[in-house]
Structure 1
Amino acid sequence: MSRNSLNQNFGLAMESDMTLNARRILLPQSSVRSEGVPMSRRDALQTGLGISALAAVGMAGREASAEDPNAAESPLHFWSLKTLSQKIRSRDVSSVEVTRHMLERIARLDGKLKSYQLVTRAEALATAERCDREIKDGRYRGPLHGVPIGIKDLLYTKGIATIAGTKARADFVPEFDATVVKRLAAAGAVSLGKLVLCEGAWAPYHPDLPIPVNPWDAGKWSGVSSSGSGVATAAGLCFGSIGSDTGGSIRYPSAANGCVGLKPTYGRVSRHGVFALADSLDHVGPMTRTVEDSAIMFEVMAGHDPLDPSTASLPVPKITGQLEEPIKGMKVGFDRDYATKGIDQEVATAVLEAVDVLAGLGAEIVEIAMPDDLDLVDVWVPIALVEAVLANNDLSATEAANFSPGFREVLEQGRQVTATDYAAACRKQREVTRQIYNVLADVNCLACPSMAKPAQDILKHPTVFELDDWKRITGKDVFTKPFNLSGVPTLSVPCGFSRSGLPLSLQLVASPWGESDICRVGHAYERATMWHRKHPNV
């Protein structure tokens, strides 16, 4: 398909509706300097962007700063992970001073944002000091050396409480690190602490534990269940974080908070030492502010683990070495009906514009047809419920009594699922997986929304799972659960802002083991746009 036909069939002319597009003006390639530094007003006028567009850019950023995460002029806490890594390696900054800065920022802001369950100040500073000594002695561990990150409180951390968002596990202190935590530590990462999540990684929160606050608008949803990871990453309270995703739990908070979230292929990243929600659906992945930063973390986290029999014995791709390759000729699948019908108009418009950007970068946009019925709640729920019961069978009756009423209800529903219903759901899962594999086989990736709506008003009853309220918050569930059921990799990338200043998100989906493709396409899109450069004013 030619670019002209693409623009006719898929795209929206940027100038056709200035009101609709005012908060999402795309900067032409010529208006973005090669190093990615935001242009000055004079630069903008010279490139023809004009006064009206400048005003629109200002509108999009009225609650954000348009700092480039790779520019040293940005506030330190909003540097990209890569930039910080380079500065630490060259000893322009020390891990200790960066870690102190982040700890002070957490102390100042997290009382409001509530992203951290536990801050490990002493351990973080000790690790940072060791990292600085190693740098001085010429022992460099790699791009995570000395970089402060946050860890979802679902992953075991040796000697540090891991409560999985519930009072039922309030006294649990692991005797070993999760494999992912161990690999990050070996790579030199500095853990700032444990990040808040929903109870047991399901939708409701425990009423006695904090609920993370969306840094763009305190009255809006911050996503589930890796909400602490999304909030801390977006608000500059870490340089990257770990999330997990059973039915959207990396993608929802990435979309709601304006982050990049990578859900790897099922079996790509070890889940040993990670509290399960649903063993056959759980994925672990990075959440960052740029695609390159997610790729850096992924390369450390991924790989076969003999302690997790579900992990594949495949080499980990060196994605970071491929990111600058042009995407010209790469095939991006697009189903307009699937991606735009029945969803929020601002989300649909942003995704259409993102597809236009990819076409402009040389990608071939291929018309595809997604399976007709991907509203798979009736398939996902029985599987997740039964496996959630199994995942929590290790608790004594006394411990289980400390679950919230909302989560106890979830587990009771799981006990009511019949073997026949579970088997039928698994059969449908296999059918859907085959269909999705077939659709993705002839393209490098699929483009669609990460979430059907911008972040909505917070849940009416955040400690109880109510299906109607869930549907109000998320809209159509066709962009998340199908890709957990099939286990394929996905990448969420910021692609604009709503009129009210809330982030919008593009999702790229690939065939199994296709993380390199979605990261290449996502990085190219990111380089051509400005959305990842904006940060909430907190």
Structure 2
Amino acid sequence: MSMTDLTKLSAVEAGRKIAAGQFKSVDLVAAALVRAETLDDRLHAFALRLDEDALAEAKALDAETAEGKSRGPLHGVPVAVKDLCDMAGHPTAAGLPMFRDRTAKADATVVERLRAAGCVIIGKTELSEGALALHHPDVTKPVNPWRDDLWTGSSSSGSGVSVAAGIVPAAIGSDTGGSIRFPALCNGIVGLKPTWGRVSRHGVFPLSWTLDHVGPLARTVEDAAAMLQAIAGRDDNDSTTIPAPVPDYLAATGAGVKGLRIGFDEGYATDGVIPETVAAMKKALASLEGQGATICDYTMPDTSAANAAWTPICLSEAWSVHEELAVDTPEGYSEGFREALAAGKAFTGADYARANLARREFVGALDRVFAEVDLLLVPVTPNPVPTVEEFARICPDPEGLERLIRFTCLYDVSGNPTITLPAGLSETGEPLAFQLVAPRLEEARLFQAGKVVEEAFGFDNLAPLD
């Protein structure tokens, strides 16, 4: 296979071919590195490249393959991790230039687990400042490979771009208000935000302790399932991780949807939503019903208080993370990030308590919905994918930002898992997507339904860069 053909493979497909001896991990990793070298001066997806380390790891994994050993379906496959994740001996900048010399002493748990699964980490991807909304002015923003003027989805932008550009088939992102789902939407790929506590956050630089989720962005539903399989599970270094056993997520992708109840509240899911997203959701519903799922009406509980709770929770917790540095070295932050931290500082304990009460009430109301249905189908955002310039105007506007994130931040507040599925392109070339939402710890249902929807759309989600 040519180097270009190698970079078009999904992660699971590549792993199968390595296991079958059709090529070696070092061939696949070399192809990824060549593609990164060719494209990243334009796309700026990477904060740090690890070419020599990656090739050495690939050679070691090939030696294991030659001995008949395999670490699993991702053995020898190149991936990338968001530059919030510690890697021993390398900096974790977290989108902050003042952190570029902040060298990690140990690997984050998610990095350890990727390596244990046989993944080869070729680099660390760029992100917005402190994983909030906007990139630091001294950081070169990643560029959307579908259209240069389009937003890349903020925080996990580099991870999304690296997958859509065909540099890696999967990458790690994080999601506090939508930062796995927005890059998935904007870059036309799959994004999986797991249940809060399903994946360890040990060694991952925080934005908001109780809202942060770590999960994969990937080319296919199978790839997302295999990545979650690799990184999920209890971690003694993170007491918030859930001790429940990790199911066989990859097997779930072939389980079908017969008997699954898909909830669709048309009033909620279409309110102010662009017609092309509505049409895509209805196509998805038809495909799920055609494969044996039952489409159920339900009434979404009031979301206004839970959505409003996101800001005081996120920003007050961000202040708690950055307080010492913000006092001692305020010049290390952009003006916008300083303003966000000041807003977090200004929230009172009573504000935070009320926000968490609203969170608990919404979690209970959503649990009652999930007693009646197995999955919800909802938009990612009511808007079309904005341009970079449009997003810069939306971000400081409280009403505009609330509209943009009202279908995403809700499930960070509740901790429910979601999968974002690409649904092709609009007539004007913007990627389309929607999300499925599951009860806590029911990611397997997302993979069951996601695979059916993926096959129905048949969308080639590699951006046309060649």
Q: Normalized against structure 1, the TM-score is what?
A: 0.83
Alignment-derived partner of residue 417 in structure 2? 489
Whether 2:298 is the aligned partner of 1:371: answer no
Alignment-derived partner of residue 515 in structure 1? 443
Alignment-derived partner of residue 527 in structure 1? 455
- Whole-Å separation in 1 of the counterparts to 2:137 and 2:399: 17
Name the SS of the counterpart of 2:79 in structure 1.
strand
CA deviation after TM superposition for structure 1 residue 338, in Å:
0.9
Q: Which has the higher mean CA deviation after the structures are superposed, 454-463 or 377-386?
A: 454-463
Residue by residue over 1:509-530, the C-alpha shift from the partner in whole angstroms, topping out at 9 and shown as x without a partner, is: 0111110111101011112331
Residue by residue over 1:482-537, the C-alpha shift from the partner in whole angstroms, topping out at 9 and shown as x without a partner, is: 10111000001112321012211121101111101111010111123312x24211
Alignment-derived partner of residue 98 in structure 1? 28
**C-alpha contact 2:177 2:412 (8 A) present in aligned 1:** yes
- Whole-Å separation in 2 of the counterparts to 1:376 and 1:291: 29
- Whole-Å separation in 1 of the counterparts to 2:404 and 2:75: 41
- Whole-Å separation in 2 of the counterparts to 1:399 and 1:146: 42
Amino acid at match of 1:490: T
CA deviation after TM superposition for structure 1 residue 423, in Å:
1.2
Name the SS of the counterpart of 2:48 in structure 1.
strand
Q: 1:369 to 1:228 in 2, by over 3 A?
A: same
Whether 2:55 is the aligned partner of 1:128: answer no
Whether 2:173 is the aligned partner of 1:243: answer yes
**C-alpha contact 2:378 2:436 (8 A) present in aligned 1:** yes
**C-alpha contact 2:186 2:431 (8 A) present in aligned 1:** yes
Residue by residue over 1:21-57, the C-alpha shift from the partner in whole angstroms, topping out at 9 and shown as x without a partner, is: xxxxxxxxxxxxxxxxxxxxxxxxxxxxxxxxxxxxx
Alignment of 1:157-168 (within 5 A): 157-168=87-98
Name the SS of the counterpart of 2:155 in structure 1.
coil
Q: Which has the higher mean CA deviation after the structures are superposed, 373-382 or 215-224?
A: 373-382
Whether 2:464 is the aligned partner of 1:537: answer yes
CA deviation after TM superposition for structure 1 residue 444, in Å:
1.4
Name the SS of the counterpart of 2:287 in structure 1.
helix
CA deviation after TM superposition for structure 1 residue 451, in Å:
2.3
Q: 1:438 to 1:461 in 2, by over 3 A?
A: closer
Alignment of 1:157-306 (within 5 A): 157-306=87-236
CA deviation after TM superposition for structure 1 residue 168, in Å:
2.7
**C-alpha contact 2:164 2:461 (8 A) present in aligned 1:** no
Alignment of 1:45-60 (within 5 A): none
Name the SS of the counterpart of 1:435 in structure 2.
helix
Give ranges in structure 1 of 5+ residues lacking alignment: 1-70
- Whole-Å separation in 2 of the counterparts to 1:448 and 1:462: 25
Whether 2:311 is the aligned partner of 1:311: answer no
**C-alpha contact 2:310 2:409 (8 A) present in aligned 1:** yes
Name the SS of the counterpart of 1:296 in structure 2.
helix
Amino acid at match of 1:317: P
Whether 2:41 is the aligned partner of 1:111: answer yes
Whether 2:434 is the aligned partner of 1:506: answer yes
Alignment-derived partner of residue 383 in structure 2? 453
**C-alpha contact 2:394 2:400 (8 A) present in aligned 1:** no
**C-alpha contact 1:432 1:482 (8 A) present in aligned 2:** no
Q: Which has the higher mean CA deviation after the structures are superposed, 284-293 or 135-144?
A: 135-144
**C-alpha contact 1:459 1:469 (8 A) present in aligned 2:** no
CA deviation after TM superposition for structure 1 residue 214, in Å:
0.9
- Whole-Å separation in 1 of the counterparts to 2:240 and 2:105: 22
Q: 1:529 to 1:364 in 2, by over 3 A?
A: same
CA deviation after TM superposition for structure 1 residue 393, in Å:
3.5
CA deviation after TM superposition for structure 1 residue 477, in Å:
2.8
Identity %: 41
**C-alpha contact 2:326 2:338 (8 A) present in aligned 1:** no
CA deviation after TM superposition for structure 1 residue 132, in Å:
0.9
- Whole-Å separation in 2 of the counterparts to 1:285 and 1:406: 27
Alignment-derived partner of residue 46 in structure 1? none
Q: Normalized against structure 2, the TM-score is what?
A: 0.96
- Whole-Å separation in 2 of the counterparts to 1:163 and 1:382: 25
Aligned residues: 465
- Whole-Å separation in 2 of the counterparts to 1:316 and 1:350: 31
CA deviation after TM superposition for structure 1 residue 397, in Å:
4.8
**C-alpha contact 2:4 2:31 (8 A) present in aligned 1:** no
CA deviation after TM superposition for structure 1 residue 411, in Å:
0.9
Q: 1:535 to 1:375 in 2, by over 3 A?
A: farther
- Whole-Å separation in 2 of the counterparts to 1:122 and 1:476: 40
Bigger Rg over Cα? 1
**C-alpha contact 1:331 1:363 (8 A) present in aligned 2:** yes
Amino acid at match of 1:427: L
Alignment-derived partner of residue 64 in structure 1? none
Amino acid at match of 2:84: L
Amino acid at match of 2:294: E
Give ranges in structure 2 of 5+ residues lacking alignment: none
CA deviation after TM superposition for structure 1 residue 401, in Å:
2.8
